[in-house]
Structure 1
């Protein structure tokens, strides 16, 4: 890494107070709040307390944030809408489709987070859809296996760009090209990759991408963003209609003609007011940071750290799930031999012991699906790897004595 870029990441690390308490390796659960976002949030709360809130400025921040997120994923602002979280985004997209009884949805129930499962089963119950689930192999799902499972009735395929456990990358672009060729809609849950791994909606050929802001976007709970490809969005009918989702100009309370309204262009038709202004102000600053550094530079830095960490853990004798880093690798590294069912537990006494030793040493991580999960972002550096390695060596010596 060039010296100037290394210095830049060292400077950025100072903008995240959480690193002072020890290695924070848990962005897969939630990221550290960027200091710039925290300052914007506090300024907003001060305005609210003083009665000096500027509503016009808040609306301007909404549109600025919409544009910044569009730039991050190489979309256009009209293809972006605000949601409450990933589940909300997926549900809004799915419920806006014109379903027919027997239409099919393909997904991998064993690997997907519930946010990308329950909305589809809810729609299946309501519209008589056929949900087909594909089994993974060794914790991974190849695009070819999904393509083989496509049926004439398949309408939507739902995948995650990176699984929350074991943290493997999915070949979205490969599947996207096949879906586009066949006229099948592709929905991507990008909660685990957004802000860390470079996202190009054109290269992915995804029709919809749902994210939340508390992980790689370095902000708060309670806000998500949904990308819907313009051509697809124009054919969707939102379940909820709001003043902000209709094509009316003027003041936010301008009524227009409710009996003959037209939906706003693109994904804006899903906007519901008022917006979550505090969360939008926070993520606006984080998006500026991510774009300023550059998605490609962030991906290279963070995946490099995760790869070094995985190699170090393997050299220490720990079972990294998936083995040595490869095409499957992401910023998430998991330790363990088997992918289990329990969301936040492991039945392996050795892993429980190691987890407790690491937590006592100041490491922040999570247990997911029988695995210890470590996840990196731009505020991490080599010192975090060294600290964990030293704690692992201590634990191994203690276990032998």
Structure 2
């Protein structure tokens, strides 16, 4: 657990904690004061100095280097996108797939990953879905029966949004390396909350937005493309994608060579405000440590699971430590409970299995106790409601 003193300092960075019980970081995280200050500083520079673009571009490269270090990558392997979906679509259109090749996904994973690959069916690419229970996690053994010589890609979310499973990327990455299969990972729900070493996990391409565990408003994504995958080519080209961009800004049809690094997938101007914010966010996250954040939310999750068991409320997803992290879906009917939580100033999300509680580094044991208290009141009120027969 994060120390009491450190946790108090973190909560000061998130004023939302003084106004409501915020348990919805799986949807988006609230702004911290340091991220807000970075955005204000950027806007002030643009307002007062009409945009010192060379300074801003230099900062972008500094942030790229920080993001690369965050994932044990090199700056040449990091591109900036709009969001996770754009990154996954970039990957789907970059992998050299031919008619008859197949891609393997988990059934029920995030639809934006599925649609990126299903869009290739018109080109003769087969998309295979692996069934998986919400109480299970995916491992190499999960995928092995579904792959063959024409399998070119395995793709999945690291952490599922709807049940909180933390899949075994280590074994899946090992399988992909052994079989010459690209591993494409949606890390939207894990970045900033679970340590990610893209090299150790043998990830080929990883896409993530920044508005959850990376604490930055919507509109910015991070794309990792492993060095050496030169056969992955961008579906779209801009001057910034080219190996030899023309200094006179006149396109050269005879020279269509693209860059060798991940920046071949980055098109022109990037989201400068959010990149300034991301630099501040990474510094805040690293002041705590992703491993410490993971340990903290897991311990809060232990407390939540224990309390839900005492209230006889089922929690969707795996229970074992290491197979879950910060997302917990309570089997409470959305129609009855979503409005009840809102009226009690608790921010959560409706999910396919019930009410999703998602934890962050600024949450506390007291937050869990407050949630449990409100649920207990809700259950009590429910038992007190008269039945139709009693009303007659």
**What is the TM-score when the length of structure 2 is the normalising length?**
0.92
Q: How does 1:173-192 map to 2 (within 5 A)?
A: 173-192=170-189
Where do 5+ consecutive residues of structure 2 fail to align? 385-392
* TM-superposed deviation, 1:71: 1.2
8 Å CA contact 1:310, 1:325 repeated in 2:
no
Counterpart for residue 329 of structure 1: 324
Deviations 1:284-308 (A, max 9, x none): 1101111232211111112221222
* TM-superposed deviation, 1:172: 0.7
* TM-superposed deviation, 1:46: 2.4
Q: Summarize the Cα distance change of 1:305–1:240 in structure 2 as closer, same or farther, 3 Å threshold.
A: same
Match of 2:90 among 88, 92, 98: 92
In the alignment, the residues of structure 2 paired with residue 6 and residue 250 of structure 1 have an alpha-carbon distance, to the nearest angstrom, of 56
8 Å CA contact 1:72, 1:295 repeated in 2:
no
In the alignment, the residues of structure 2 paired with residue 327 and residue 175 of structure 1 have an alpha-carbon distance, to the nearest angstrom, of 16
8 Å CA contact 1:22, 1:384 repeated in 2:
no
8 Å CA contact 2:103, 2:152 repeated in 1:
yes
In the alignment, the residues of structure 1 paired with residue 272 and residue 38 of structure 2 have an alpha-carbon distance, to the nearest angstrom, of 11
8 Å CA contact 2:329, 2:353 repeated in 1:
no
Counterpart for residue 302 of structure 1: 297
Counterpart for residue 340 of structure 2: 357
In the alignment, the residues of structure 1 paired with residue 167 and residue 52 of structure 2 have an alpha-carbon distance, to the nearest angstrom, of 43
Q: Summarize the Cα distance change of 1:240–1:300 in structure 2 as closer, same or farther, 3 Å threshold.
A: same
DSSP-derived class of the 1:188 partner? strand
Deviations 1:239-293 (A, max 9, x none): 1122222234897x76685631432232111111111111111111101111232
Counterpart for residue 358 of structure 2: 375
Q: Summarize the Cα distance change of 1:196–1:250 in structure 2 as closer, same or farther, 3 Å threshold.
A: farther
In the alignment, the residues of structure 2 paired with residue 267 and residue 261 of structure 1 have an alpha-carbon distance, to the nearest angstrom, of 17
Q: Summarize the Cα distance change of 1:250–1:297 in structure 2 as closer, same or farther, 3 Å threshold.
A: farther
In the alignment, the residues of structure 1 paired with residue 253 and residue 219 of structure 2 have an alpha-carbon distance, to the nearest angstrom, of 29
8 Å CA contact 2:318, 2:324 repeated in 1:
no
8 Å CA contact 2:134, 2:163 repeated in 1:
no
Instruction: State how many pairs are aligned.
Output: 383
DSSP-derived class of the 1:92 partner? helix
Q: Summarize the Cα distance change of 1:258–1:8 in structure 2 as closer, same or farther, 3 Å threshold.
A: farther
Counterpart for residue 160 of structure 1: 157
* TM-superposed deviation, 1:140: 3.3
8 Å CA contact 2:317, 2:328 repeated in 1:
no
Q: Summarize the Cα distance change of 1:12–1:66 in structure 2 as closer, same or farther, 3 Å threshold.
A: same
Counterpart for residue 132 of structure 2: 136
In the alignment, the residues of structure 1 paired with residue 24 and residue 366 of structure 2 have an alpha-carbon distance, to the nearest angstrom, of 16
Counterpart for residue 292 of structure 1: 287
Deviations 1:21-80 (A, max 9, x none): 222111111111222121111222223333431101111121112111111111111111
In the alignment, the residues of structure 1 paired with residue 121 and residue 31 of structure 2 have an alpha-carbon distance, to the nearest angstrom, of 37
**What is the TM-score when the length of structure 1 is the normalising length?**
0.90
Q: Summarize the Cα distance change of 1:174–1:100 in structure 2 as closer, same or farther, 3 Å threshold.
A: same
8 Å CA contact 1:147, 1:175 repeated in 2:
no
DSSP-derived class of the 1:131 partner? strand
Which region of structure 1 is more displaced relative to structure 2, 42-51 or 22-31?
A: 42-51
* TM-superposed deviation, 1:141: 4.4
* TM-superposed deviation, 1:396: 1.9
Q: Summarize the Cα distance change of 1:297–1:138 in structure 2 as closer, same or farther, 3 Å threshold.
A: closer
In the alignment, the residues of structure 2 paired with residue 59 and residue 262 of structure 1 have an alpha-carbon distance, to the nearest angstrom, of 24
* TM-superposed deviation, 1:323: 6.2
Where do 5+ consecutive residues of structure 1 fail to align? 337-347
8 Å CA contact 1:248, 1:256 repeated in 2:
no
Counterpart for residue 398 of structure 1: 381
Counterpart for residue 205 of structure 1: 202
